[in-house]
Each structure stands twice: as C-alpha cells, then as structure tokens.
Amino acid sequence: MSERTILVWFRNDLRIHDNEVLTEACRKGSRVLPVYCFDPRYFSKTPYGTLKTGFLRAQFLLESVADLKASLQRKGGGLLVLHGKPEELLPKTAEEYQADEVYHHREVAAEETEVSALVEAALWKKQINLKHFIGHTLYHKEDLPFPIKNIPDAFPVFRKKIERESEVRPSFIQPEVIRVPDNMPQGALPSMEELGFAASEKARFSVDFKGGETEGLESMKHFFEETDWLNLKNSRKIAGPELSSKLSAWLSLGCLSAREVYWAVKQAEEKYGAAALPFLLQLLWRDYFRFMFKKHENRFSPKGFFDTEIVKLDPGQQQLFDDWKNAQTKVPLVDACMLELNQTGYIHHKKRQLAASYLVNVLSKQWAYGASYFEERLIDHSPASNWGNWALAAGLGGDTQQKQQYDVLKKELALNPTGVFVSSWVPGSENAEGKEHCTA
C-alpha cells in the first residue's frame, strides 16, 4: 500500500457496502479522508418558487449522514462534515490534509455536474486530481450493448436489449478497516434549524422512513424475506395498487446500492419464482433515466430537451397550480394523492403518474412547476427519475410515445377499487380510519 491520502467526497452514495469509491480509496491509499459537504444551494428556493429540499427529505438526509458517520467510525474511521460550497471547501481541505487525490461518484443532472466541474477546476489549480467513478446505476455503462450516444430512446427497446446482452456486476466488498488521518476532526452535523427549517414543522408530517444505510438494509431484508410472495397476486387484487417496497428512498441517497437490491430480488426469484421480478423493472427505469440524462446532456425542460426557458405562470395558472399542490382540485383521487404526498413525502409511482398527468392536463407546457414541487416534497427524489418521469407525462423526453394519458376513471379503478384510499385521505370522509389500508 502506498503512502498516500485519498479524500473521498460522499454525495449521493451514503453507504459503505458496494461503494467502489471507498473500496478503491482504502485499497490504494494508506489513509482515507471521508468528507460530506452540506451545500447551501440544496436548501434554497428554485426559480419555480419551491424549495430544492423540503423538510422530510432534509431530515432523511441528516439521518443518513449520521448513520454513515457511525458506520465509518465502527470501521476505525470517521466523517469530516463541512458546511458550505464544495468547490470552496474541498480544495482547502485536500490541501490541509495533503490529499494526493479526490475520489467521487459521477452525477448526471445539470446542477450536480456543474458542482463537480467547479470542484475539479478548483482542485486542478492546486494540482490535485478529481477522479470520477460510476456507481449509481444497476448496469455499468461500460457493460451496455451500445455507446451512450446510441442508447434507444424508447424504454421497451432499451430494456429488451439490456436484459438480453448485459449482465449486472457483483457488488464490491466493503473494507474491513478504514484508516483516517490522525488529526482529522469529526465535525458536527447541522440542525434542522441551521438548514432553514423550524423544528415545529415536524408535527405537520406522518413519517414512515428513517434515513441511513443501516435502516435501508434492514428494510430491504424485511421486505424480501417477509413479503408473502406466493399470495402476492391475491393481495394485489384486494389492495389495488401494486405492492411497493419503498426502497427508492434509500436508493435515492445511495444508502442502498442498486446492485444490492438486484441480488436480493434474484434471491427472492429463486425462492418464489417470477413474483419478485416487477422490482427489477423499477431498477431498469432508474438506469434508463440516468442514461437518458447522460445522452441528452440532462436537458429535460418545459419545452423539450434543448429549451431551458422558465415561463412565469399567469394568475389563472398559478391558482390551478396552488390548488393542485394544496390538494384542492376537487378531483377526489388527485387530492388524495397530493394529501398523502404532502403529509408523508411518498406516494406510489402510479399515483405520481396520476397527479402528474392531471397537472399536465390543466397547465399544459408548464409541467416543470409540478416536477419542481415533487423535488421539494419527495423523500426519494432523484433528479433523473423525477424530471424524466415528468417529461414523459408531458409527452417530451426521450420517448414521446409514452406520454401518460389522464383518465381519472381508469386510475380510480386501478388505485382505489374499494374507495378506501380516497376516503382515508380526503378531509371530511366517513372512513377516516382507513389509512392503514393505503398500500402506496
């Protein structure tokens, strides 16, 4: 092992399992300097008047960073927590600890890649290299049956070719020991108040998630070991929507590796047959949107790939948007979906399609306001998946043939066959006790 110090910049990879960046840093360096930076830009307002990060996701992030810190400490290491812009703090930190190189996982969305470019330029001035790794997708881009520029825009074609010609790599083995510089302070995590949230806001929400790798792995184990896969079809007939693992919350921050979930699905498949396979489809959708962002230079926008203009809503449109986000559309199923989103930070993907399709129908091309609101509210927000799905709902994006059509009756029958979901979320309903039946 060489006498080298490698700074590991954690971003959306808050785990020690199947983490190539951490594994390689431990293998190639005698010391590892794990760093997480709370960037104030991610807790600011967007041009659409929404927050980049809402209360629930901010809380989930704090829990996830705290859990990562504890996991690193159990391995003999720790986590240096910084507060500020990475392009200003990381070069200073690398220089202070005489880091020979900085490792991080490459992102694909515009704001994340811009920050990476700023960090890389600032490090280069100090003659320190920023090394990029690819670790957010199920399939490694080097294993795709086509170059990025030739990836099929139609998801069915993408899926068929991937499943036929590509294989998922094994997970990386986590390091046994993590050695950090002797003089490295741990750094304190910010409070919710320091991130701009009032502690009293917590009372407004009903939270079913706790952030962190530990909780993510436990939730994955519980879901795949205790779900009654053999009777899954019957349970779907009773409950309405498809069963949801909710693992997307931990996948979004990299508390769970997509590969770890894949291998858990494959084990369930061996034991129970094809019932678990729909979950592989969701992992493929995640890959598809990330690769689409890479192919098209992450230019999903209100008018298509190559137009980034933000159009201000007129008073009538603003009222429609406010009614939608405040669950006051007077369409019971849409309002029930939005109430659940606002209170819990999560709704099943079919409900997201319904809510998005409704807003696209009433606001036409100004769909980006809805995508931005989902960005604020969703605990499991991932830029590529969120904006990509909204682009499809608007008939834009890579596959314009997949536009989600708004048909409230059809959605009502699929999501709410017994009426329990709507009655459990719409105020004043007779069946207010029915929330436990909601399967999103």
CATH of the domain at 45: 3.40.50.620
**CATH classification at residue 336:** 1.10.579.10
Q: Do 322 and 369 have their domain in common?
A: yes
Q: Cβ–Cβ contacts within 10 Å for residue 94, how many?
A: 25
- Residue 290 dihedral angles phi and psi, to the nearest 5°: -65, -40
- Give domain status of residue 322, yes or no: yes
Place of tokens 């034991």: 271
In a domain? residue 351: yes
Q: Measured between alpha carbons, how far is 286 from 252 in angstroms, rounded to an integer?
A: 10
pLDDT tens by residue, 57-103: 999 999 999 999 999 999 999 999 999 999 999 999 999 999 999 99
Mark whether 333 and 431 lie in a shared domain.
yes
> Are residues 235 and 327 both part of a single domain?
no
CA pair distance 250, 255, nearest whole angstrom: 5
Q: Is 234 left (phi over 0), alpha (psi -120 to 50) or beta?
A: alpha
CA-based nearest residue to 421, from 345, 359, 355, 339: 339
Q: What are the two backbone dihedrals, phi and then psi, of residue 429, each rounded to the nearest 5 degrees?
A: -75, 160
CB 94 within 8 A of CB 128: yes
pLDDT for 236 equals 43
Q: What is the pLDDT of residue 350?
A: 86
Last residue of a domain, one of 295, 329, 350: 295
Please report where in the chains the tokens 């490295």 appear, as a residue. Answer: 184
Closest C-alpha to 404, from 413, 392, 412, 417: 392
| Shared-domain flag, residues 260 and 351 | no
- Indicate if 272 and 319 belong to the same structural domain: no
- Residue 303 falls within a domain, yes or no? no
Question: Is 18 in contact with 138 (CB distance < 8 Å)?
Answer: no
For 277, 282, 317, 367, the CA distances from 310, given in Å and listed in that order, are 39, 30, 14, 11
Name the residue range of residue 154's domain: 139-169+213-295
| Phi and psi, residue 241, nearest 5° | -65, 160
Instruction: State how far the alpha carbon of 15 is from the alpha carbons of 135, 190, 252, 294, 411, in Å.
Output: 12, 19, 12, 24, 37
368, 242: one domain: no
Starting at the edge strand found earlier in the chain, the sheet holding 129-133 runs: 80-83, 31-38, 5-10, 101-105, 129-133
Residue 146, in any domain of the structure:
yes
Q: What are phi and psi of 369, to 5 degrees?
A: -65, -40
Query: How many structural domains does the chain have?
Result: 3
Q: Give the integer Cα–Cα distance in Å for 326 and 73.
A: 43
Residue segments in the chain with a per-residue pLDDT below the cut of 70: 1-2, 228-243, 273-276, 298-309, 397-440
Q: What pLDDT was estimated at residue 303? A: 47
- The last residue of a domain, from among 295, 325, 344: 295
* Tens digits of residue pLDDT in 161-217: 999 999 999 999 999 999 999 889 888 899 999 999 998 888 788 777 899 999 999
Q: Which amino acid is at 432?
A: A
Same domain, 244 and 331: no
* Same domain, residue pair 248 and 359: no
Are the C-beta atoms of residues 392 and 403 closer than 8 Å to each other? yes
pLDDT at 138: 95
264 and 387 together in one domain: no
The CATH number of whichever domain residue 289 belongs to comes to 1.25.40.80
Q: Which of the listed residues 295, 324, 340 is the one where a domain comes to its end?
A: 295
Domain co-membership, 39 together with 111: yes
